[in-house]
Structure 1
Amino acid sequence: MAALLCLAALAGCGKFGGAERPAWRAQAEAACFARNQVVLSNYIQPAGHEIDGPSICGLTRPLKVTALLGGKVLFNSTQTLDCPMVAELEAWVTETVQPAASARFGQPVAQIDSMGSYGCRGMNNQFGARLSEHAFGNALDIGGFVLADGRKIVIVHDWTRGDAQTQAFLRDLHNGACEHFATVLSPGSNAFHYNHIHIDLAMHGMTSTGPRRICKPAPQRTEPPSRKDNLPDAPDIEDDLDIAQGGPPRTQNSYATRPGPSLAAPSVVARAAPPNRVAAPTELHASHAPAAPTRGTMNADGVFVPEGAPADFDLPARGRK
C-alpha cells in the first residue's frame, strides 16, 4: 500500500487515476525521427523497447547515447534520452560548446560529464513534486566537461572559483543553451542547481514571439577570450589604396620616378637604326605632325650640308687650303 501511495504521489495520481502521458511527447519523438534529425550509429542506438511507466513516466522510442557528433564528444556514461533532446544537444555542442572551447582554451571539449538523464522522479528529486522532464527522457543534467588535453572543468567549483576564462566559458555555454533549450537552470537559479546545469525541452506554452523559455540566471555578458599573442588588432579598413580604383593623376607625371619629357610638348621618338642603315620612316612615331625638313645644300661630292657655313658642319673642309 505504501508503494502504491508513493507512485500515486509521484505521478500526480498517475495511471491509477486515469492520467495519460501527454500526446505531444510521442508526436515530438515521431517527428524527430521522420525528419532524420538524429543519425543512428555505434554511439546512438535504439533502446529496443518502449519505456512505459511506472505511472506516466517513459518515452516511446528511447535512445541509448554514449557520444555525440559521431563519437567526437563522449559521455561519461550511457544516457537514455528522447530523439528531440539528442538532436538539440548535438546542435548546441556544434554551435556553442566547441566554438567557446576553441576560443577560450584553443582546443575542443572531448567529454560531457552527465549527472543524469532519464529517471522517473519529481522535479528537483522532491517527493510529491510534479514530474520532472527527466521522467520522459527529455532532460539532461551536466556536471562538467573534459577538454581534449584532459583538463577537467567541474561546474560546482569552476562556476564561481575557476579562472576568468573558465568562468566565462561556462557562462558562454549557459547563454547559448538558452537559445536551444526550453529550460536552462544553472548555479544561481536555485539551491538545487548549485552543482550542475539542467537543460530540457519542456513545453511551457506559447507567447507572441514563440515558445516560452525559462533561463535562470539571466544570461550575462562575458569578457572576451584571452589574446594568443602580443600583436596589435587588425585595422578595420585596409590602409593600402588599390591604384586601379583611384582617379586620374592630380598633376602631370605624378607617378614618374624621374624627370622625363613634358607631356605638353611631345617629341618625335625614333628607334636607333642598325649600323649602315637609315631608319625607315615607318620606324618613327610621333604624337603630332612631322617637323619641317631641315634646310641646307648638297655638295658636289654628294654630302648634305645643313644651312650655315660649310666650316661649321663639313669637318673635312677645315683641312682644305
Structure 2
Amino acid sequence: MACRVLPFAVAAALMLALTGCSNYERPRRPAWRGEAEAACVAQKLVHVSAYVQPAREIDGPGICGLTRPFKVSALLDGAVQFNSAYTLDCPMIAALNAWLTDVVQPAALARFGTPVAQIDSMGAYSCRSMNNQWGARLSEHAFGNALDIGGFRLTDGRQITIVRDWMRGDDQTRAFLQDVHSGACTTFTTVLGPGSNIFHYNHIHVDLALHGNTSSGPRRICRPQLRPSPVPGPPRDGLPNPPEIDEDIDIAQAGHPEGDALAFHAGPGPAPSARIPDAYFAAAARTPAARAYAPVPPEPVRGAMREDGAFVPEGKPSDWDLTSTIPPR
C-alpha cells in the first residue's frame, strides 16, 4: 500500500512547489507616484479646507488610483471655483494653484481688467488610456495627475471657451488663451492644446507626467508651440508705439525659426516657478529618457474642417473624448 501512495505523495509535493513558485501578485503603481503624493502632503503644499477635502484611497482597477486623493471644488482657497468637484492628487493641486497665481490671474487682469472666477474642466481622475485609445499606455488621468480645461469664467460673468475662442475669439481673448497655455508650459510637464492633435481641439490638457530628466529638471512637452503676445498698456520706455505695417507674409505658412524653444512664458510678471514636490525631480532623475515616451496611438483620420480652419473628428465627442473609462479586459 505504501508503494502505491508514494507516487501520489510525490505528485502532490511537486504541485505545491510549483504553486509556491508562481507569482499571482496584482500589478502595482510605480513607487514614485506614492512618494510624490506623500512629499507634497509633508511639504504642506496643499491646505485642507472646505474646498479641498481628503478622500479615501483609490486602489484599482489595475494600477489606476491614488494613495492620498483629494476632492477639489475650488482652488486658491475658494477664489477660483471648479464647475464640479474633481479628484486630484496633491502635486496637481499645488501646480494648479501656482499656475493660477503666477500666470492665469495676471493675464486675465492685463487682458480684461478682471480675474478668473471659475475653471470649466472636462475631467480629472479617470481610469483610462491616453486619448481613450486601445493599446495606448495609461493616461495621467488614471492617477489623478491631470486636468482637462475647457474654458474659464471671469468675475464679470464673461465666459471663455477654448473650442470657440481659441480661433474665433477677439484679439484679447485669443491672446489670453495663448498666455495661459504658454505659461502652463513652465508649471506642468505636459501641456497639450488645440493644434497638438485632434483629440485636444476643444480643451487644454495639463499634467505632471515624467518624460525623463534634463540638467534643469524634468523634461517638458508643450504643444502647440506658441509665441507670446504683447500685453496691452502704455510702452515701458514712454515712447509711442510704432505704426502698424502690413507685411505680405502668411504667418500660418511661415512656420517657426529652427531652434525655437518648445515653451515660452507669456503675459505679465516673472516666469512662474514649478512648485511641485521634490520627489518629482528625484523620480525624473531615475527615469531613463529612452523609456519615457509612449508610442503615439493611432489617430482617426475621418472628419471635417471648420470655417476657422480647425479639424473636427467624425462622430460624437463621447465616442473619443474624455469621459469614458477603460472597460475590463
The two structures have a TM-score, normalised by structure 2, of: 0.64
Structure 2 equivalent of residue 100 of structure 1: 107
**Which residues of structure 1 form unaligned runs of 5+?**
1-14, 238-321
- 1:155 alignment counterpart: 162
Compare CA radii of gyration and give the structure with the larger one.
Answer: 1
Aligned pair 1:25/2:16, yes or no? Answer: no
In the alignment, what sits opposite 1:191? 198
Superposed counterparts of 1:7-156, under 5 Å? 18-47=26-55, 49-156=56-163
TM-score w.r.t. length of structure 1: 0.65
Q: CA deviation at 1:126?
A: 1.2
Q: Do the aligned residues in 2 keep the contact of 1:16 with 1:55 (CA within 8 Å)?
A: no
CA distance in 2, matches of 1:119, 1:27: 21
**Displaced runs of 4+ in structure 1, greater than 4 A?**
15-18, 232-237
- The answer on whether the counterparts of 2:26 and 2:62 sit within 8 Å (CA) in structure 1 is no
Gaps of 5+ in 2: 1-22, 240-329
Going from structure 1 to structure 2, the CA distance change for 1:146 and 1:25 (only over 3 Å counts) comes to same
* Distance change >3 Å, CA 167–CA 30, structure 1 → 2: same
CA distance in 1, matches of 2:235, 2:104: 25
Deviates more, 1:17-26 or 1:36-45: 17-26
Report the Cα distance in structure 2 between the residues aligned to 1:202 and 1:148, rounded to whole angstroms. 32
Q: Distance in 1 between matches of 2:200 and 2:91?
A: 23
Q: Which amino acid aligns with 2:64?
A: C
Matches within 5 A, 1:216-235: 216-225=223-232, 227=233, 233=235
Residue 127 of structure 1 and its aligned partner are, at CA, apart by 2.1
Whether the 8 Å CA contact 2:92–2:146 is kept in 1: the answer is: yes
Give per-residue Cα distances to partners, 1:194-230, cap 9 Å, x unaligned: 00000000011102332110000113121322x4xxx
Sort the Cα spacing of 1:233 and 1:195 in 2 relative to 1 into closer, same or farther, 3 A. Answer: closer
Letter in 2 for 1:143: G
Identity %: 67
Of structures 1 and 2, the one with the larger relative CO (CA 8 A, separation 6+) is 2
CA distance in 2, matches of 1:91, 1:16: 42
The CA deviation at 1:74 is 0.1
Report how many aligned residue pairs link the two structures. 217
CA deviations over 1:23-56 (Å, ceiling 9, x no partner) = 0000000000000000110000001x10000010
